Structure 1
Amino acid sequence: MTKTITRTEQFTAIMNEMTSWFSRSTFRINHFLKVWAFARHIGLSEGLPEDTLFLLEITALMHDIGIKPSEEKYGSPAGKYQELEGPIAARPILEAHGFSGEQTDRICYLIGHHHTYKNMDGLDYQILVEADFLVNLFEEGHSRASIESVREKIFRTAAGKKCLDTLYLGPEGLIPAEEN
C-alpha cells in the first residue's frame, strides 16, 4: 500500500531540501524565503485557487535552485543559466517527494522561465515574477526610476503593485538607504 503524502509533508520536505541545498548561504536562504512570503501574500490576495497557490509556494521556494549548478557549469549564476539548470535540479527532488508529473512539469516550467518576462502564461507565473522582483529590487539596490520602470513593464496584479508601491514608491518617494 502506497502512503499518501500530504501537502504539509511536501512543503516541509521542500523547505528542508532548499535550506540544505543552500546550506550556510544565509543570503540565498533569506532570498527564497522572502520570495515565498511575497508569492503567498500576492497569491492569497489575488484569490488563486488552492492547488495553484500550493504549486506557486513550492516554486517560490525552489525558484533559484539552478544557481549552484549554473555556477559550477558556467561559472555564473546568470538568470539564463538558472533557467537552463534549475528544472534539471528540481525534477528529481519533486519526484522524490510525491509530486505528480503534471505538478512537477508546471513547477519546472516556472523555474525554467522565472527570468523571462514575456508571454507569462498564468497568474502563478506573473506572481512568481513579481515576488522575485519585490525582493531583488531591495537586494540589488535599484533606483527609483528603475523601480518605476519595472512597475510599468512587469507588474500586473493589484496586490503586487500595492506591495511595490508600499515598499519603494510611497507618498514620500523611495525609502532612503539608511532606513532600509
Structure 2
Amino acid sequence: MVKYFGNDVRRINHAMKVYSFAKTIGELETISDEKFQVLEVAAILHDIGIKESERKHNSSSGTYQEIEGPPIARELLSEFKLGSEFIDRVCYLIGNHHTYSNIDNMDFQILVEADLLVNIFEDSLSEQAINLLKEKYFKTRSGNSFLECMYQN
C-alpha cells in the first residue's frame, strides 16, 4: 500500500490509522482468526482505488473507490499465497466499504467503524453529524467506546 501510494503521505496515513483502529477493535471484539486476517488486509487496502478514481473519474468519491479498488487489490494480493475465498472477501469489503447497507458480518462492521473514526477527525465533522453516525452505524462495544472517548466528552 505504501509503495502503491508513493509520496501521497496523507492517504498512507489515513490507511494506517484505519488499520490501527480496525486491528484494535477486532482484537477487543474477539473475532475469528480468519475474519481478523481479512479485516487487517481490507483495512490497509480499503482506499486503494482512490488513485484510479481520480485518474479515470476525476473524483475520489466512495462510489468510484468501490468500483476501482477491488481489481487493484486483487492484483496486489495475487503476489501472495492467499486463497481465492480470502481475496474475494477482501475485495468484497473494499468494493462495498462505503455502502453501509451491505454490512453482512463483523469484519465489515469493524472496517466501517474504523474508517468512520478516522474520517470524523479528518473531515472535522460536527457534533450533530457524529451523533447521527453513532446512531446509524456504530454497533460494536469497542467502536462505540472509541467514538465516545474521542468525540463525545
CA–CA distance in 2 between the matches of 1:161 and 1:117? 16
Structure 1 segments unaligned to the other structure (5+ residues): 1-17, 171-180
CA offset at residue 119 of structure 1?
A: 3.3
3-state SS of 1:118 partner: helix
Q: Say yes or no: does 1:37 pair with 2:4.
A: no
Name the % identity: 47
Match of 2:63 among 80, 84, 96: 80
Map Cα deviations across residues 112-137 of structure 1 (whole Å, 9 max, x no partner): 00001113100000000000000000
* Alpha-carbon RMSD: 0.7
Match of 1:102 among 85, 88, 100: 85
Q: TM-score, normalised by structure 2?
A: 0.98
3-state SS of 1:96 partner: coil
Structure 1 equivalent of residue 102 of structure 2: 119
Q: TM-score, normalised by structure 1?
A: 0.84
Structure 1 equivalent of residue 43 of structure 2: 60
Bigger relative contact order, structure 1 or 2 (CA pairs below 8 A, ≥6 apart): 2
More helix by share: 2
CA–CA distance in 2 between the matches of 1:121 and 1:60? 16
CA offset at residue 23 of structure 1?
A: 0.9
Structure 2 segments unaligned to the other structure (5+ residues): none
The structure that has the greater radius of gyration is 1
